[in-house]
Structure 1
Amino acid sequence: MVAFAFAPFRALVYCGATTELRVRYLYTFAMYLAMPLIVLRLLLRGVRSPPYHRRWSERFGFFDAPGFNGSLWVHAVSVGEVNAAEPLIKALRKDYPNAPLVISTVTPTGMARVHQLFGDAVFHVYLPYDLPFAVNRFLQRIRPQLALIVETEIWPNLYHACHKRGVPMMIVNARLSDRSLRGYRFLRGTVRSALRCVQVIAAQSVADAARYRLLGAEPQQIVVSGNMKFDMRIPPDAAAAGASMRRQWGCERPVWMAASTHEGEELAVLDAHLQVLKQFPDALLLIAPRHPERFKLVEHAVHTLGFSMATHSADGLPAASHQVFLIDAMGLLMPFYAAADLAFVGGSLVPIGGHNVLEPAALARPVLVGPHTFNFAEITLTLIREGGAECVDSSDQLGADVLRLLLDDEKRAQMGRVAHQVFDRERGAVRRVTQMVDALLQE
């Protein structure tokens, strides 16, 4: 396989290929050299997730062809991107009922979210690694008439293969943090060449558009369409379900939520809850770790610290006697946000980049975040600037900030109103993106 990869690279060196093309072949050669580590990682991941192990061949383009011709292909790497793409996918199903829909992800949690949202109405497949043979086999099987890449997934061989086949591409809900921009600097020429294969880059914000320009996109490719996450569907029964749960737990007891937490955050959250309990002995913490493989670890930590706890998998809902409730299931956050007095959104006390602050904002809940929010920088800064969210400076400060807000009903209500106003004002990105999709398909 290494020899197979080296042959075209060697030919390029001696045949006067352009610098960008040489770099892309060098990149491909490096991908082939990394294959043993890639396979080892797949095997290790398969131990943690047996269903993923059974499907790892899809990462090399091996899967049964669904018999499609002219499919609409949406790539959303994981849960957050799938959630962001949900309103767009539903709009595509409505506008193009006869076009097969293919959704690709990279993570098992992304796959699970696709099945939860759409069931068998779409065809799910794992995105292949950016190797020419895998990419070509993948495209031969799904036969797309349009490729929609959600947020920030730039794969040079994939993009060039789509361009060679005449498949128009859009990067939708496109975002590019300063951190990602720096990460691409070693492949700047290759990435610039890949971006020239894209017809439209629908950026979330002016800042994202500027960073794509710095990465090498042409001005005429870029449109600022807004953030599709604002067009997320609010379950019509979320507020009612939250109110029902509050009646069961006790309407007067303080309830706060820590959502999408990561390693390094749960202990800070539990320590904060100990501070809250000193002031409010009947307070309840709802905690939802980001990744399913960490559910048991968090449950063990809660038990070890001596909290009275319940879990969704074992108990369904907490009782009045419980101090902590572990939400050990995916896709259930909205009713619990509705049942909480305030929400801390994780991935932000540690340098993960933060997660979706719009879900609590959509339900008029005040939001707390840590200092690391570069994945949702524009949204988070808007919420903070307008008063719908606050930034917690450090893990040690979380308990004091939660307690301060739980003690101030008027402040929480004001923050919740502002958060919902921001959420409502920014909607409309999906409509703008679907208009661009229509234009591309008509061409």
Structure 2
Amino acid sequence: MKAPPLPLSITAYRTGLTLAEPALSGLLAFRARRGKEDTARLPERRGVPGRVRPRGRLCWMHGASIGEALSLVGLVDGMIARGFSVLVTTGTRSAAELIGARLPPAAFHQYVPLDAPRWIGRFLDHWRPDLALVAESEIWPSTIVALHARGVPLLLVNGRMSERSFKGWGRTPRTAEALLSRIAVCLAQTQEDAERFARLGAPRVSVTGNLKYDSAVPAVDEAHLAHLRSVVGGRPVWAAASTHPGEDAMVARAHLALKDRLPDLLTVLVPRHPHRGAEIASEVAGLGLRTARRAQGGWPHGAIDLYVADTLGELGLFYRLCPLVFLGGSLVPHGGQNPIEPTRLKAAVLHGPHVENFTQVYRALDAAGGALAVADERDLAAAVADLLPDPRRLRAMAAAGGAALLPFEGALDRTLAVIEPFIAQMTLSAMARP
């Protein structure tokens, strides 16, 4: 099926970004001064390569931030097993630091360039990918147009289209169709996602499921975990993970409400953005709680009420330490955070009402009894008070949650099965060349 002509909106967008290159460079420099960009690797954000392209077939995979990038790890291994080198790009420093430590030798990381046509062109001219896989909902016009013009198949994997995004794209239907028709296949997480992509004009859509269900749980240093457990001792401990602004104070006030019933309670607070650690510690101390920050080398010894775990890539450590985990982004209207990792690491899960980014999995966990919804900080305190002193109930919730995830596994194999014909076509084309 031939893709429709590019509408004026996309042409204007690409022209505008070309003219705006000096302003975009200034924006990157400003972000670097604020610590949001890696100064040493800033040229990569303009499409300037940071290393030599490896020989042979290359698969480019992109995940915008931590969650999307980590969902690609299984595909990285799968493509390496099929003879590809793999270039993984991200757009944030935190994702770069975390994914860089998890990539096997045949894969490597670069920062993704901003969507300015010349910068994208420079990036593609150097890397010359044979196949491009983009995770979840990254629909960047210049990138899509450039890949299509070069004949590079682009697959949207682990595709997600929220109701809000669907309505937004629906206001510019010709633009949406022009872009989605240039994507070789949209592999959606759910039937609802698939229907939204199709209604916006994607001609080839399949439901393959959520790759995050097949992701390996984060590794942990067992000696480090054992030491942390010895420091905590027999104190009741729970975690508030991936919290967002506004939720930290709610968690602290919930802790205060529990002090009479659980006087030795330890609350571990893991902010979604670790750089907020100092701000959170100050806010919590203002409520009269004794705090320590992990980023400063603090430990949750007996004198500490609330431990601010403001480091990167250690959620697996705290999910193993804490039998009960509240997942943030859900008591404020953010859309929730992914509950798959804590559930697979045998933690019972609490969450607020705002979980629309992960509706399917929360619906399954709630129905099975592996997770429990709380309406506000008072409800959160009541749930912790009921559950934390009851290890048997926590174990039953964790087991129910693990069982609820089983039917959703298999997305990795289904995704690789869709990719196989593209690899076969590359092989046939290479054989046909003189």
Q: Which residue matches 1:3?
A: none
How many angstroms apart in 1 are the aligned matches of 2:15 and 2:333?
31
Superposition pairs of residues 387-406 of structure 1, within 5 angstroms: 387-406=369-388
1:246 and 2:229 correspond:
yes
Q: Which residue matches 1:109?
A: 94
- After the TM superposition, list the runs of 4 or more consecutive aligned residues in structure 1 that deviate by more than 4 angstroms: 32-37, 235-244
- Specify the SS of the correspondent of 1:144: coil
How many angstroms apart in 1 are the aligned matches of 2:53 and 2:295?
39
- Specify the SS of the correspondent of 1:287: strand
Q: Which letter does structure 2 place at the counterpart of 1:156?
A: P
TM-score, normalised via structure 1 length: 0.88
Q: Which residue matches 1:216?
A: 201
Paired residues of 1:68 and 1:143 also in contact (CA < 8 A) = no
Deviations 1:150-203 (A, max 9, x none): 111011221121111111111111111101112223433222111112222111
Counterparts in 2 of 1:349 and 1:210: CA distance versus 1, 3 Å: same
1:52 and 2:34 correspond:
no
Cα offset for 1:233?
Answer: 0.9
Q: Which residue matches 1:229?
A: 212
Q: Which residue matches 2:48?
A: 62
How many angstroms apart in 1 are the aligned matches of 2:210 and 2:36?
35
Q: Which letter does structure 1 place at the counterpart of 2:369?
A: G
1:191 and 2:176 correspond:
yes
Counterparts in 2 of 1:258 and 1:134: CA distance versus 1, 3 Å: same
How many angstroms apart in 2 are the aligned matches of 1:248 and 1:392?
30
Paired residues of 1:162 and 1:168 also in contact (CA < 8 A) = yes
Superposition pairs of residues 17-28 of structure 1, within 5 angstroms: 20-28=6-14
Deviations 1:48-76 (A, max 9, x none): 21762333332221234523453110000
Cα offset for 1:121?
Answer: 4.7
- Specify the SS of the correspondent of 1:183: helix
1:424 and 2:406 correspond:
yes
Paired residues of 2:370 and 2:400 also in contact (CA < 8 A) = yes
How many angstroms apart in 1 are the aligned matches of 2:389 and 2:342?
19
- Specify the SS of the correspondent of 1:55: helix
Q: Which letter does structure 2 place at the counterpart of 1:290?
A: R
Q: Which residue matches 2:429?
A: none
Deviations 1:367-388 (A, max 9, x none): 1111211221211222112221
Superposition pairs of residues 253-264 of structure 1, within 5 angstroms: 253-264=235-246
Structure 1 range deviating more: 101-110 or 406-415: 406-415
Unaligned runs of 5+ in 1: 1-17
Superposition pairs of residues 40-189 of structure 1, within 5 angstroms: 40-49=26-35, 52-64=38-50, 66-68=52-54, 70-96=57-83, 99-118=84-103, 121-189=106-174
Paired residues of 1:68 and 1:100 also in contact (CA < 8 A) = yes
Counterparts in 2 of 1:151 and 1:274: CA distance versus 1, 3 Å: same
How many angstroms apart in 2 are the aligned matches of 1:258 and 1:336?
10
Counterparts in 2 of 1:140 and 1:32: CA distance versus 1, 3 Å: closer
Aligned length: 421
Choose from 338, 357, 373 the match for 1:356.
338
- Specify the SS of the correspondent of 1:31: helix
How many angstroms apart in 2 are the aligned matches of 1:54 and 1:236?
28
Structure 1 range deviating more: 162-171 or 183-192: 183-192
Counterparts in 2 of 1:200 and 1:358: CA distance versus 1, 3 Å: same
Counterparts in 2 of 1:195 and 1:243: CA distance versus 1, 3 Å: same
Counterparts in 2 of 1:349 and 1:100: CA distance versus 1, 3 Å: same
How many angstroms apart in 2 are the aligned matches of 1:284 and 1:187?
50
Identical residues among aligned pairs (%): 34
Q: RMSD between aligned alpha carbons? A: 2.3
TM-score, normalised via structure 2 length: 0.90
Paired residues of 2:281 and 2:292 also in contact (CA < 8 A) = no
Counterparts in 2 of 1:354 and 1:240: CA distance versus 1, 3 Å: farther
- Specify the SS of the correspondent of 2:353: coil
How many angstroms apart in 2 are the aligned matches of 1:120 and 1:239?
24
How many angstroms apart in 1 are the aligned matches of 2:378 and 2:16?
43
Q: Which letter does structure 1 place at the counterpart of 2:39?
A: H
Paired residues of 1:154 and 1:191 also in contact (CA < 8 A) = no
Unaligned runs of 5+ in 2: 426-434
Paired residues of 1:156 and 1:190 also in contact (CA < 8 A) = no
How many angstroms apart in 2 are the aligned matches of 1:369 and 1:43?
38
Paired residues of 1:74 and 1:147 also in contact (CA < 8 A) = yes
